[in-house]
């Protein structure tokens, strides 16, 4: 993780336009609006998922995005319907991925 790269505050609908960077020396860097980043800041409601699997779906009103929790955060008391703010590492998954 390169903490010199930005953490952009985004809507999940905007992330559809993010692309894997071809110019960065950091292989997992993404680009959006001409900005290089690895982390995103999102806010919304948890609409499905479970702590056992460590995956949740966040709905921010512009779209949905899958969240994957590290083991440390799986121990928290997550409930569907709660409003959350998350900042985390983004992983690019091409649109053709199921």
Measured torsion, CA atoms of residues 3, 90, 6, 44, in degrees rounded to the nearest 10: -120
Q: 25 is written with which tokens?
A: 């020396």
Q: Are 92 and 18 in contact, with CB atoms under 8 Å apart?
A: yes
Reported pTM: 0.79
**In this structure, is residue 98 part of a structural domain?**
no
The pLDDT tens digits for 29-45 are 888 888 888 888 999 99
Secondary structure element (H or E) that encloses residue 12, with its range: helix 12-15
Our count of domains for the chain comes to 1
Range of the domain at 12: 6-89
The two structure tokens encoding residue 37: 């980043």
Calculate ∠ Cα 41-24-68, nearest 5°: 35
CATH code (residue 23) = 2.40.50.140
Give the tens place of pLDDT for each residue, 49-89.
Answer: 987 888 899 999 999 999 988 888 888 888 999 999 998 88
* Nearest one of 55, 56, 48, 64 to 14, comparing CA atoms: 64
Q: Does residue 94 lie within any of the structural domains?
A: no
């Amino acid at each position: 993780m390169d903490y010199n790269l930005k953490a952009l505050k985004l809507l999940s609908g905007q992330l559809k336009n993010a692309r894997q960077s071809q110019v960065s020396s950091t292989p997992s860097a993404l680009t959006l609006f001409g900005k290089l980043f690895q982390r995103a800041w999102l806010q919304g409601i948890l609409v499905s998922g479970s702590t056992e699997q460590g995956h949740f779906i966040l709905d921010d009103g512009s779209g949905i995005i899958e969240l994957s929790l590290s083991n440390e955060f799986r121990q928290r008391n997550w409930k569907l319907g709660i409003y959350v703010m998350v900042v985390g590492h983004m992983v690019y998954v091409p649109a053709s991925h199921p």
